[in-house]
Structure formats: C-alpha cells, structure tokens
C-alpha cells in the first residue's frame, strides 16, 4: 500500500511529508487518516518540534477534486461533514500541539493546502512557491480556517480581495503580507527548515509551547485580560527546569542544555 504521508524521526523532532506528488499532494480521505496518525505521534513528549512539507513540486493542492466529480456522484456532497470530520480536526490538532510546527512550503499551496500552511507556527517558503485561495474558482469559501486566519493575518480588505479573485501570489508577496517568515532558494529550503527544527527541538520547549498558546489567544482577549494571562504563564515558566537552566547557563557563560520541562 502506498504511503500518502511519510514520517521521518530526527533527534527530538519529526518530519511529516504529504506524499501524493502526482496530485500535488491533494488530500483524499486516506491522506487525512494517515496525517492524523502522524500528528498523534508528534504529540508525544519526546518530539519537540514538527516539520510539515510536501513531496515533489507542490506543497498541497487542497482537496482532491477527483473525488468530487459531480458526474459520478448521486447528489451534492455534504462538504460541511468533510470539514467537521477531517479538515477542522486537522487545523485544531496543529493548533493544540504543544510544540512549534514549522511548515516548509516547497511549491504551490492551493485551497485548503494554503490554509493548512497558515495554521502552522512558522512558515518558510521556497522562492518557487505560490499561494492560491482557489475556492472562488469552484464556488466555495476559504476553509481549513481560511476566512479566520486570513482576516487576522491580512485584515478584511486584503483577505476579501485575495479570496474573491483567487489570484496566485508568489512567495515574496506572501512574505511582504506577513504570511511567510522567510523565503529560501528552492535548493536550500529543506536544509534551512531542518536546521530551524533542530534548533527549536533543542530549545526551551515549555516556554515555546506557552508562547504559541499566548500568541494564538491574543486576539481573543482584551489587553487587560491578556496581561493577567502573561503573568500566570510567566509564573509557570519561572518554575520550569528550562528557566533554571537558561539563567544558570547565562551566568556560567556556557550554552544551555534544555530538557523541554
């Protein structure tokens, strides 16, 4: 049986590759099931960073439209069910993973494929990558968190114009818009992404997971509420082994060895 998701274990971090290159890694149900299993493994404590990327020339072309051929279906599909059972749990699982998720967008990211990338914590892109909110071309709305994420990341005017026109944007534009952290040469993208993951996996994981949580919650809270959340979280960080090690290492003028606890 072909594996639609590849998993590689590195020291303290995990690389997950969407693996349907002949379909530009478009999602079918089996790929969802395999990715869910991979992300359960990624939740284990020994994994301290996750890298998500795609095989071949694309990152992900969203939903596999071969499985949505109206000429072969008895009636309209229930896409709400697909979202509730497959895409929404995927986006939620990326958000609740208590470690950084890095996405290396190696090529085109379209439809849900683009919005899965934007649900990750750090997005790197190849200079060959392009991003497309392809939904308007097939009469749908941006999903996989798209209408929420784009509004928060871009503001409503740009989010609407991009979604309604379905115009492709290149990696540099995505970076200028704040959707991508860094753009790398296509040849060096994976090397850079792996180096970043190795570095994050050796980082203060307890602090990083709390950073992820606080920043993701920020837009939901008032400043007043959020100041309290920061104080509560910093209290916990101050009690962590990583804080003790970080400060001790600084004072002893040596590199820290974080355990993630």
Binding site for ligand T3D (CB under 6 A): 23-24, 26, 61-66, 68, 79, 82, 108, 110-112, 132, 134-135, 137-138, 140, 143
Distance CA(167)–CA(123), nearest Å, equals 20
Distance CA(164)–CA(145), nearest Å, equals 16
Phi-psi region at 103: left, alpha or beta (left = phi > 0; alpha = psi -120 to 50):
beta
Distance CA(141)–CA(79), nearest Å, equals 11
Distance CA(200)–CA(203), nearest Å, equals 5
Please check whether residue 129 is in contact with residue 75, taking contact to mean a CB–CB distance below 8 angstroms: no
Distance CA(216)–CA(18), nearest Å, equals 25
CB of 192 to ligand T3D, least distance (A): 23
Residue, CB closest to ligand T3D: 62
| Pick 142 or 246: Cβ nearer ligand T3D | 142
Angle at 141 between CA 42 and CA 153, to 5 degrees: 60
| Pick 58 or 260: Cβ nearer ligand T3D | 58
CB of 154 to ligand T3D, least distance (A): 19
| Pick 81 or 254: Cβ nearer ligand T3D | 81
Of 70, 39, 48, 20, nearest to 208 by C-alpha is 48
CB of 55 to ligand T3D, least distance (A): 13
Q: 193-230 burial, b for 16+ CB within 10 Å, e for fewer?
A: bbebbbebbbbbbbbbbbebebeeeeeeeeeeeeeeee
CB of 177 to ligand T3D, least distance (A): 19
| Pick 2 or 222: Cβ nearer ligand T3D | 2
CB of 163 to ligand T3D, least distance (A): 12
CB of 7 to ligand T3D, least distance (A): 23
Please check whether residue 246 is in contact with residue 258, taking contact to mean a CB–CB distance below 8 angstroms: yes
């Amino acid at each position: 049986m072909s594996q639609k998701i590849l998993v590689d274990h590195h020291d303290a971090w995990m690389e997950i590759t969407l693996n349907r290159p002949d379909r530009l890694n478009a999602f079918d149900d089996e790929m969802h099931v395999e990715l869910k299993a991979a992300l359960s493994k990624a939740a284990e404590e020994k994994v301290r960073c996750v890298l998500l990327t795609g095989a071949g020339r694309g990152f992900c072309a969203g939903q596999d439209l071969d499985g949505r051929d109206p000429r072969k279906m008895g009636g309209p599909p229930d896409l709400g069910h697909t979202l509730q059972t497959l895409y929404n749990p995927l986006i939620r699982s990326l958000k609740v993973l208590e470690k950084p998720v890095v996405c290396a967008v190696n090529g085109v990211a379209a439809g849900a494929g683009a919005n899965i990338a934007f649900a990750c914590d750090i997005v790197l892109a190849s200079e060959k990558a392009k991003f497309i909110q392809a939904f308007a071309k097939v009469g749908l709305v941006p999903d996989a968190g798209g209408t929420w994420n784009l509004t928060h990341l871009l503001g409503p005017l740009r989010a609407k114009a991009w979604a309604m026109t379905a115009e492709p944007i290149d990696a540099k534009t995505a970076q200028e818009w704040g959707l991508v952290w860094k753009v790398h040469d296509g040849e060096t993208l994976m090397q850079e992404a792996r180096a970043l993951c190795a570095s994050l996996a050796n980082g203060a994981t307890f602090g990083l997971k709390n950073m992820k949580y606080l920043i993701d919650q920020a837009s939901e809270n008032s400043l007043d509420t959020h100041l309290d959340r920061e104080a509560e979280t910093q209290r916990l960080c101050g009690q962590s082994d990583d804080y003790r090690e970080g400060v001790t290492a600084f004072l002893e003028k040596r590199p820290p060895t974080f355990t993630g606890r």
